[in-house]
Structure 1
Amino acid sequence: MLSRAVLALTPLFGRLTVTSEIKLRLPAGTLFVANHDSLADPAVVMAALRRLDLEPVVMATAGLWRVPLLGRALSRDGHIPVHRRTAHAALALDAAAEALAGGRHVLLYGEGRLPRRRDAAA
């Protein structure tokens, strides 16, 4: 649902063109990794993936779940909160692995500073 809302709102801010030379057929459980250089990146990436008929689970900072309406939408769609700089941060990796094993696509942002497992245990 969240990706549909983003896709509907994207034209208000600019034009998004998504091209592919082939019909994109990704196996279930594909991991997407994107850059996150601006606040617009998550919306643009989600809108682009939605245009390709893909609705990934997104790993995002847990603080977003405290935003009214957004937090409910994130929970309802099964997105994964990442509790940065806590012992619980690495649990997001387990949730992502479970989503991938269940055939869902997962989107993460490499700059998200997800800690290595040994760091999270401290």
Structure 2
Amino acid sequence: MWQRLKAWAGALKREVAALYLATRDPRTPAAARWLALAVIAYALSPIDLIPDFIPVLGYLDDLLLLPLGIWLCLHLIPDAVMQDCRRQAATRPPAALGRRGAILVIALYGALVAAGVGWWLTP
């Protein structure tokens, strides 16, 4: 069972990498690109909607939201694009996506904080 779980996690990691590559492909529709960026940011984010220290519910959001987001992206992105991106993700080392992913998450949370502060300061 542990090996199956490990294989599933590896496949999920490759799908996230393929989604990242699909966001950079001009054949990807804009709506799918934005949704994929949100899913990637959530996957890479150290902040969860439900904190992991809450029993059962803490991991439930990761087990449901991430696969659901990936599934939705896969239905919005053309099959030919995803096949090309999966091939690229399989040959590309994971570290190549690390820095860009971190920049994406920092930018997203920076924008959220700026929007929250702007909303809070608006009379």
Q: TM-score range by the shorter chain?
A: under 0.3
Q: TM-score, normalised by structure 1?
A: 0.24
Larger radius of gyration: 2
| Structure with greater strand share of residues | 1
